[in-house]
């Protein structure tokens, strides 16, 4: 069995160091890094600008394995859910969302999730394991392959990434950071920092590290405007209470003109009243914020209901009147269980 080191786990700097250590020029690392950003590259023999002996040497030592596409479901609204098989037979899902002039990929960061949010289906799977960098980057490559095969005339680019799939990205901090470094590097995938969003339940220490280590958009799964309600639906709030989370948001190093997105899943009778909206408006005062209201996606296994449309619009109205940018997230791919909080391969299997 080959050494399980996968070259796709390496950042550009690490690849350069790897070659320097072997007495080879660092630019070999850059050449490989570039190859690894291209779809349909599966073997060293395709890397035609590397000397043959080097390709053979690498073949003996490193893997280039990617998650395998196991299944693809296409929603009536064009959203596609991919099921990807990992080397240890675990399955993860990611979702390609068509927008007007681009695609967005909703990326998973873990197999399952340990956060136990009461309204989320992924939580019901429990936590299985963290994804390695190549398994995160691999979702992007598989999505690119699918989109490249499409024979439409005006091809739209895969431009945006949201870390809103299965798992809590900041609970897999080291691997997430590496994957982000690979995906954002101008010599590699070259995703724009403005178009990559990491969503978190609010792991405060890792939020601090993220702010220091890299610039990407931040989204906070807030879901309640008072500490008690939040603890009831999000167990993590007992560890990192709402006031501390808000403080961490206030001190987050945001580039000029950027806002933090606050996600707020609307649950009938739990957090959806006008008073809740008013509390939210006060809570976020002074933070460059954008509120993204997510009507709850119902599921037989989940004990909540989605509020009426009138109730949702009333909630939004309060935030708009208070001067916030507040949008209602359109549910995409609900018919194929690809909508927010519905990714849960083990349950479906």
Q: Is 340 a catalytic residue?
A: yes
Through-space distance between the first and last CA atoms of the chain, rounded to whole angstroms: 30
- Residue 107 found at the interface with ligand SAH (CB under 6 A): no
- Residue 168 found at the interface with ligand SAH (CB under 6 A): yes
State the Cα–Cα distance between residues 201 and 163, nearest whole angstrom.
Answer: 12
Tell me the closest approach of the beta carbon of residue 124 to ligand SAH, in angstroms: 10
The region of 32-40, 45-53, 116-124, 128-136 touching ligand SAH under the rule CB under 6 A is: 116-124
Is 261 in contact with 292 (CB distance < 8 Å)? yes
- Residue 117 found at the interface with ligand SAH (CB under 6 A): yes
- Residue 294 found at the interface with ligand SAH (CB under 6 A): yes
State the Cα–Cα distance between residues 131 and 142, nearest whole angstrom.
Answer: 15
- Residues in Cβ contact with 154 at an 8 Å cutoff, skipping those fewer than 6 apart: none
Bridge partners of residue 111, in order along the sequence: 129
How many C-beta neighbours within 10 Å does residue 349 have? 7
Phi and psi torsions of 84, nearest 5°: -120, 135
Tell me whether residue 164 or residue 182 sits nearer to ligand SAH (CB atom): 164
Bridge partners of residue 103, in order along the sequence: 98, 158
Given 94, 106, 113, 340, which residue is catalytic?
340
Tell me the closest approach of the beta carbon of residue 15 to ligand SAH, in angstroms: 29
Cα Rg, the chain, nearest whole Å: 21
Given 93, 135, 168, 263, which residue is catalytic?
93
* Residue choice 175, 237, 297, 345 for contact with ligand SAH (CB under 6 A): 297
Please list every residue from 5 through 24 that binds ligand SAH, using CB under 6 A. none
Is 150 in contact with 80 (CB distance < 8 Å)? no
Q: Is 120 a catalytic residue?
A: no
Tell me whether residue 91 or residue 338 sits nearer to ligand SAH (CB atom): 338
Tell me the closest approach of the beta carbon of residue 302 to ligand SAH, in angstroms: 6
- Residue 120 found at the interface with ligand SAH (CB under 6 A): yes
Active-site amino acid positions: 93, 340
């Amino acid at each position: 069995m080959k050494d399980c080191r996968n070259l796709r786990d390496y950042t550009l700097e690490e690849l350069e160091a790897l070659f320097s250590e072997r007495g080879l020029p660092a630019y070999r690392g850059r050449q490989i890094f570039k190859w690894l950003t291209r779809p349909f590259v599966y073997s060293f023999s395709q890397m035609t600008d590397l000397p043959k002996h080097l390709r053979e040497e690498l073949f003996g030592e490193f893997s280039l394995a990617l998650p395998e596409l196991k299944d693809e479901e296409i929603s009536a609204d064009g959203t596609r859910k991919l099921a990807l098989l990992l080397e240890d037979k675990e399955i993860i899902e990611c979702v390609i969302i068509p927008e007007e002039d681009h695609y967005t990929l909703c990326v998973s960061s873990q197999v399952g999730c340990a956060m136990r949010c009461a309204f989320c289906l992924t939580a019901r799977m429990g936590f299985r394991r963290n994804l390695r960098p190549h398994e995160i980057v691999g979702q992007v490559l598989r999505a690119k392959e699918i989109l490249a095969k499409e024979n439409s005339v005006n091809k739209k680019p895969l431009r945006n990434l949201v870390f809103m799939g299965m798992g809590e990205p900041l609970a897999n901090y080291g691997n997430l950071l590496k994957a982000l470094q690979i995906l954002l590097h101008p010599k590699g995938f070259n995703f724009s920092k403005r178009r990559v969003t990491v969503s978190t339940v609010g792991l405060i220490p890792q939020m601090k590290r993220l702010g220091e280590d890299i610039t990407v958009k931040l989204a906070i799964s807030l879901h309640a405007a008072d500490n008690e309600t939040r603890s009831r639906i999000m167990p993590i709030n007992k560890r990192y209470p709402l006031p501390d989370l808000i403080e961490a948001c206030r001190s987050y190093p945001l580039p000029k003109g950027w806002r933090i997105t606050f996600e707020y899943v609307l649950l009938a009778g739990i957090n959806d009243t006008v008073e809740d909206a008013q509390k939210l408006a006060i809570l976020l005062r002074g933070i460059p914020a954008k509120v993204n209201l997510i009507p709850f996606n119902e599921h037989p296994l989940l004990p909540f209901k989605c509020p009426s449309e009138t109730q949702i619009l009333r909630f939004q109205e309060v935030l708009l009147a208070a001067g916030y940018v507040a949008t209602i997230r359109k549910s995409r791919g609900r018919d194929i269980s690809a909508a927010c909080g519905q990714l849960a391969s083990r349950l479906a299997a």
